[in-house]
Homo-oligomer: A and B are copies of this chain.
């Protein structure tokens, strides 16, 4: 059956990196029998400019109809002064909620060829390979009630609610235990159970699941300590599971440990194998349109799509290997450059991957 893939390039460097990812997909279709159909839709600032809405109904419908979404990046200073629901970010948040993409997978991998770009000492990060599993459709991002108002003293007051029920926690927990089983067999659940009720429930449910997954070593860590341990000794982690907000912060810190967030993909999955795939990096408006952005994060997001939605682990491996070869051959976009290497533009890097497929 032909798989429908929706490309949502978004803002900033989104369009130019997605172009390279599409070349990769086209090549897999032509040369390796991948049965796909590509469509494109507006999202983020580009959609605001065209329609006034960061996620127009037609884009949402197209995303609903698709088997997988390839997402570029969104946002930029042009839309920063808008009210929150008219900002590019809210398009992404609505898409996650509407498609029920509750499981966000964020690998933080250090490429041996790129150890020098990390801010951390080589022995601390060499071989780093962490998977952060972030809950993506609940918690304080979506909790009700929320709002801003004047209180009894006439002062402005604002609030958000961090809320989870056991169903939400156990479904992300199961996803994480399953991932840990396919990896190193160790799962660290991160919370703030010494302070927050919602974290206590999180911990209770993880412990209950732990009794079903007896082959997995489950540990717990407070979020402040996790932030420390990521800096001190990140290789102690295998799979990490955490809530929406904590995952936002920790996955970005973990990504930056590798020094090359231009290299890191992510997947946001629903319960049925549908996924939205996007680079961890943002829209980088300062370098947009200059053909210097690193397309490898979105190309590696295609690899995640091949593995998790399209069930073609063989082709996923092919793409990942091509990225490895490109690095071995010394090709470098600006963000991962060092002296003796060969500088490549966005299109040259994309072309190199395509050639090696």
Q: What residues make up the interface of A, taking CB atoms closer than 8 Å to B? A: 75, 84, 87, 89, 93, 119-121, 124, 140-141, 143, 146-148, 151, 153, 155-167, 192-198, 200-202, 204-205, 223-225, 227-233, 245-246, 248-253, 255-257, 259, 261
Q: A224-B251, A224-B252, A227-B256 are in contact. List 14 more A-B contacts (CB 8 A).
A: A75-B194, A84-B195, A89-B195, A119-B231, A140-B140, A140-B162, A148-B197, A151-B165, A155-B165, A157-B163, A157-B164, A159-B197, A231-B231, A253-B253
B250–A227 touching, CB < 8 Å? yes
A193 to B89 CA separation, bound complex (whole angstroms): 11
A232 to B260 CA separation, bound complex (whole angstroms): 10
From B87, B141, B159, B256, contact of A231 by CB (8 A): B256
B249–A200 touching, CB < 8 Å? no
Q: State the oligomeric state as a number of copies.
A: 2
A228–B255 touching, CB < 8 Å? yes
A194 to B166 CA separation, bound complex (whole angstroms): 27
A156 to B168 CA separation, bound complex (whole angstroms): 10
Least Cβ–Cβ distance between A273 and chain B, in angstroms? 25
A223–B198 touching, CB < 8 Å? no
A197–B228 touching, CB < 8 Å? no
